[in-house]
Amino acid sequence: MHFFKIIFFIIGVNTALLLGEFLKKHKADSEVVRKIPHIFIGLIFTISPFFLNKIDIILFGACLIIGIFANNIFNFYKAIFVIKRISLGVLFFPVSLVLNALLFLPNNIAAFVFGFLVLTFSDSLASIFGKKFGKKRFVTSHEKTILGSLVFFLSTFLLLVIFSLFVSPLLLWKIFIISSALTIIEYFFVFGLDNIVLPVFAAYLLILF
């Protein structure tokens, strides 16, 4: 077990959370306050297979889950915990890390990485742009906006183009289908469930195609 590496990754997550506290203190936009730590933590999850083995990542995720429950009691961090009860979206983030490690490591590192890149960038950018600038919704009662879904699609499409150039070649029609499928999935999963569903589906779709 790479004990000190796990500690280093935990420190990285805490640094991202402290960044959120800093942004909140300086009255940054609430969505930015939530999503900037989300992006940094997502990047930490993304690179974790290159430094930690499967068991280490599962233990790392378990530590974060325990930390979320501890934070609910002691209230260390407030920026991304915008409600007093445990946020399901925040809780599902490390749960997703554990689940994806179980499903895809060590044999499908590229799929694991792609799944968390989608969650890190596509989901975060969709949320920021959708909530800040998006006005029109596909369904009036739905929290997702047309602009948010468009940003998600374009971000995912770009990620796949980069993957195709540097990791594994993909035909353009496959890139379009994967991006479209993930955009539909992101639209329908709310209440933080996309934090679990998106990385899994993104990874499976990359393997499938």
pTM of the model: 0.92
Q: How far is CA 127 from CA 106, 111, 119, 142, in A?
A: 31, 23, 11, 13
Q: Which long-range contacts (CB under 8 A, 24 or more apart) does 83-87 make?
A: 87/192
pLDDT by position in tens, the chain (length 209): 578 899 999 999 999 999 988 888 877 777 777 889 999 999 999 999 999 999 999 999 999 999 999 988 888 887 776 554 456 788 899 999 999 999 999 999 999 999 999 999 999 999 889 888 767 666 654 678 889 999 999 999 999 999 999 998 999 999 999 999 999 999 988 778 899 999 999 999 999 99
CA torsion, ordered 71, 126, 131, 79, to nearest 10 deg:
20
SS3 145: coil
Instruction: In whole angstroms, give the CA distance from residue 10 to residue 28.
Output: 25
Q: What proportions of the chain, in percent to the nearest 5, are helix, strand and coil?
A: 75, 0, 25
CB 103 within 8 A of CB 132: no
CA angle, 119 as apex, 112 and 11 as ends, to 5°?
80
Domain range list for the chain: 3-208
